[in-house]
């Protein structure tokens, strides 16, 4: 949890001067640079928690009373989470367009530098012809990915910027076939915008172009230029531009402090929207004023909104209008179960004795319910697709428990059967995750074209090293990423991080079970 300096620690008693705010990671720089100093000056006990858009929507729809204010990246997931209208005083704090970006030399090679008329069709042509590759954050797990998806859907539906996608259009062959083109064009779909940006900056040879927030291009370019590296270059998809509007609203909990906390939030909103110093700080962070006409700005700082980076300070483009919550939900469900590429997922689950002792096995049993029980998985957009293949292997010092078990497709009863088998197993014995990884590499060899492969390891990381070299070599030769999740109170990350890094995957700690599973499943 992020907390402002006016709190001693997260255990300080809650009072009428406490404001508990949950925000997307996109707002971290704003919280640290603008909101935190304001809280200190006002002597307010501000407590900030960073959670993704899907997590915020889940908390809000469940009626959580843990937070007084929600700050979404955009209205897309706010609509999904606030179908009951619980948020009050919702206002957009600033605007951030979603741009198509890449390394400047790559964008120059594509003939996109200096152009203000690059369209979705131009981008698709460049990718489908093999001239470049493109990444987007997973639309079901990331606001930026979802807004890009709706930009493409609007394009395939033939809508202008002011016309939202309808259910009839979503059901049409034009949108169905076009969205499948969109999915086929994406080389990778990391679970979050932050992960996407970190991977692309770290591996420029593998990540050539991508969709992201304009302000992140600005932020990363300052870092890249300072380090003497090539900057990124951004273009704005003509006619299909998606804009994140950073809505911030109050959630009443029914307690005695509601009135005071609502007043505090209203003061914060007024500060962000009206205070000259706050507005200047937001501009320096690359956030466009929500109070401006369209996306244009008066006297923009060209060291921030730098035209050499493709940033258009006085952008005349109108953003798309987002569809209703019902259409948003239907589109994201279809992405997860129909649009995305089918995937073969191989789970290696640590059922050793140490997992029994450190709480890790209880965590894995809880994870099984979240992932394999499809009604529960749908709540977090983690559903298995009808063409997916799911294999689960339990391991201690060897493969154990009568596994592996494989389910082809998304039959609810068969998927629930995986949960039942995991729940019924008693953990015990030594640990060697590499034997399971060797089995995963064997099972994933020879994947048919158009199908993705993925290995997910859940372990405390305390493994024997027999078979390590072969496991890493086999997985690297396949090009299949390993997503490693650390379970257990005393989990050792070293071996898990090594296998994830060696295979181009990612490592996550299981501090928040659902968030960890979303990160893993987001690679599907």
Q: Count Cα neighbours of 488 within 13 Å in the Cβ-side half-sphere.
A: 24
Mean predicted confidence (pLDDT) in 186-202:
89
What sign has the CA pseudo-torsion 122, 130, 101, 163?
positive
pLDDT tens digits along 44-88: 999 999 988 888 998 999 899 999 999 999 999 999 999 889 999
Phi and psi of 473, rounded to 5°?
Answer: -65, -45
Cα 390 to Cα 344: distance, rounded to the nearest angstrom:
6
* pLDDT tens readout for residues 97-132: 999 999 999 999 999 999 999 999 999 999 999 999
Of 129-133, 174-178, 461-465, 508-512, minimum mean pLDDT range: 508-512
Is 134's pLDDT higher than 60?
Answer: yes
- Spatial distance between the Cα atoms of 503 and 461, rounded to a whole number of angstroms: 16
Per-residue buried b or exposed e for 191-208, using 16+ beta carbons within 10 Å of the residue's own CB:
bbbbbbbebbeeebeebb
Longest dimension (CA), the chain: 68
Q: Region 506-513: what's the mean pLDDT?
A: 74
Joined together, the tokens standing for residue 313 give 């300070």
Q: Closest by alpha carbon to 388, among 419, 344, 429? A: 344
Q: What is the pLDDT of residue 482?
A: 93
Instruction: Kindly report the backbone phi and psi dihedral angles of residue 321, in degrees, each rounded to the nearest multiple of 5, phi listed first.
Output: -95, 130
Q: Which of 245-254, 422-431, 441-450 has the lowest mean pLDDT?
A: 441-450
Mean pLDDT for the chain overall: 91
Residue 4 pLDDT more than 50? no
User: Residue 511 gets which letter from DSSP?
Assistant: S
For residue 1, the model assigns a pLDDT of 41
Q: Which of 83-87, 171-175, 291-295, 381-385 has the lowest mean pLDDT?
A: 291-295
- Report the C-alpha gap between 135 and 101 in whole angstroms: 10
pLDDT class of 455 with cuts at 50, 70, 90: very high
**Residues 333-349: tens digit of each pLDDT:** 999 888 888 999 999 99
The whole-number pLDDT of residue 442 equals 95
User: C-alpha distances in angstroms, 241 versus 188, 235, 412?
Assistant: 21, 10, 38
What are the tens digits of pLDDT across the range 211-221?
999 999 999 99
Residues 6+ apart with CB under 8 A from 223: none
- Most confident option among 79-93, 366-380, 497-511: 79-93
Q: For residue 427, what is the DSSP state?
A: P
Mean pLDDT throughout 409-432? 95
Q: Give the tens place of pLDDT for each residue, 294-316.
A: 788 888 999 999 999 999 998 88
Confidence of residue 9 (pLDDT cuts 50, 70, 90): very low
- Token pair 């009604």 is found at 375
Peptide bond before 183: cis, by omega within 30 degrees of 0?
no
The model's pLDDT over 265-293, given as tens digits with 9 standing for 90+, comes to 999 999 999 999 999 999 999 999 997 76
- Give the predicted TM-score (pTM) of the model: 0.83
Q: DSSP assignment, residue 286?
A: T
Among 364, 387, 368, 362, CA closest to 485:
364
What's the confidence (pLDDT) of residue 514?
Answer: 67
Dihedral (CA of 296, 297, 298, 299) sign: negative
**Closest CA relative to residue 500, chosen from 472, 469, 459, 468:** 472
Does 8 have pLDDT greater than 70? Answer: no
**Which residues lie closer than 8 Å to 396 by C-beta, 6 or more apart?**
350, 351, 352, 353, 427, 428, 429, 430, 431, 432
Strands 18-23 and 45-50: parallel
Q: How is 169-228 classified by DSSP, letter by letter? A: HHTSHHHHHHHHHHHHHEEE--SSHHHHHHHHHH-TTT--EEEEEHHHHHHHHHHHHHTT
- Give the number of other Cβ atoms within 10 Å of residue 351's Cβ: 26
Residue corresponding to tokens 């390993």: 482
């Amino acid at each position: 949890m992020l907390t402002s300096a006016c709190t001693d620690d997260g255990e300080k008693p809650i009072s009428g001067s406490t404001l508990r705010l949950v925000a997307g990671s996109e707002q971290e720089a704003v919280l640290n640079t603008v909101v935190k100093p304001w809280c200190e000056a006002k002597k307010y006990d501000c407590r900030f928690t960073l959670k993704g858009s899907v997590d915020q929507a889940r908390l809000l729809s469940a009626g959580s009373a843990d937070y007084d204010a929600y700050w979404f990246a955009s209205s897309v997931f706010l609509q999904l989470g606030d179908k009951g209208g619980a948020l009050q005083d919702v206002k957009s704090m600033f605007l951030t367009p979603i741009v198509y970006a890449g390394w400047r030399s790559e964008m120059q090679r594509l003939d996109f530098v200096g152009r203000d008329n690059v369209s979705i069709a131009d981008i698709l042509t460049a990718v489908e012809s093999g001239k470049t590759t493109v990444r987007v954050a997973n639309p079901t797990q990331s606001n930026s990915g979802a807004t890009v998806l709706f930009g493409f859907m609007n394009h395939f539906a033939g809508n202008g910027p002011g016309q939202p996608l309808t259910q009839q259009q979503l059901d049409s062959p034009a949108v169905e076939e076009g969205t499948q083109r969109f999915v086929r064009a994406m080389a990778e779909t990391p679970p979050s915008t932050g992960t996407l940006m970190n991977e692309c900056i770290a591996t420029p040879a593998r990540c050539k172009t991508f969709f992201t927030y304009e302000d992140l291009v600005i932020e990363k370019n300052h870092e890249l230029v300072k380090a003497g590296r090539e900057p990124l270059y951004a273009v704005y998809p003509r006619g299909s531009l998606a804009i994140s509007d950073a809505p911030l609203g109050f959630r009443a909990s029914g307690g005695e402090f509601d009135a005071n906390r609502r007043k505090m939030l209203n003061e914060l909103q007024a500060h962000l929207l009206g205070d000259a110093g706050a507005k200047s700080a937001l501009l320096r962070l690359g956030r466009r004023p929500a109070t401006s006409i369209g996306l244009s700005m008066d006297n923009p700082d060209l060291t921030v909104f730098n035209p050499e980076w493709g940033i258009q300070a006085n952008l005349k483009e109108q953003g798309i209008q987002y569809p209703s919550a019902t259409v948003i939900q239907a589109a994201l469900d279809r992405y997860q179960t129909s649009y995305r590429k089918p995937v073969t997922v191989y789970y290696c689950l640590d059922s050793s004795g140490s997992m029994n002792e450190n709480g890790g096995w209880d965590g894995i049993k809880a994870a099984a319910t979240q992932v394999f029980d499809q009604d529960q998985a749908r709540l977090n957009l983690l559903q298995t697709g009808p063409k997916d293949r799911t294999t689960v292997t339990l391991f201690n010092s060897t493969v154990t428990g009568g596994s592996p078990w494989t389910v082809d497709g998304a039959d609810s009863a068969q998927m629930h059967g995986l949960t039942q088998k995991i729940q019924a197993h008693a953990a015990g014995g030594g640990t060697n995750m590499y034997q399971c990884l060797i089995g995963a590499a064997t099972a994933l060899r020879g994947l048919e074209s158009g199908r993705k492969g993925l290995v997910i390891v859940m372990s405390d990381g305390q493994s024997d090293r027999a078979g390590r070299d072969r496991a890493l070599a086999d997985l690297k030769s396949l090009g299949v990423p390993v997503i490693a999740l650390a379970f257990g109170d005393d989990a050792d990350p070293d071996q898990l991080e090594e296998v994830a890094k060696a295979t181009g995957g990612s490592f996550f700690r299981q501090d928040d079970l659902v968030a960890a599973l979303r990160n893993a499943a987001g690679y599907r």
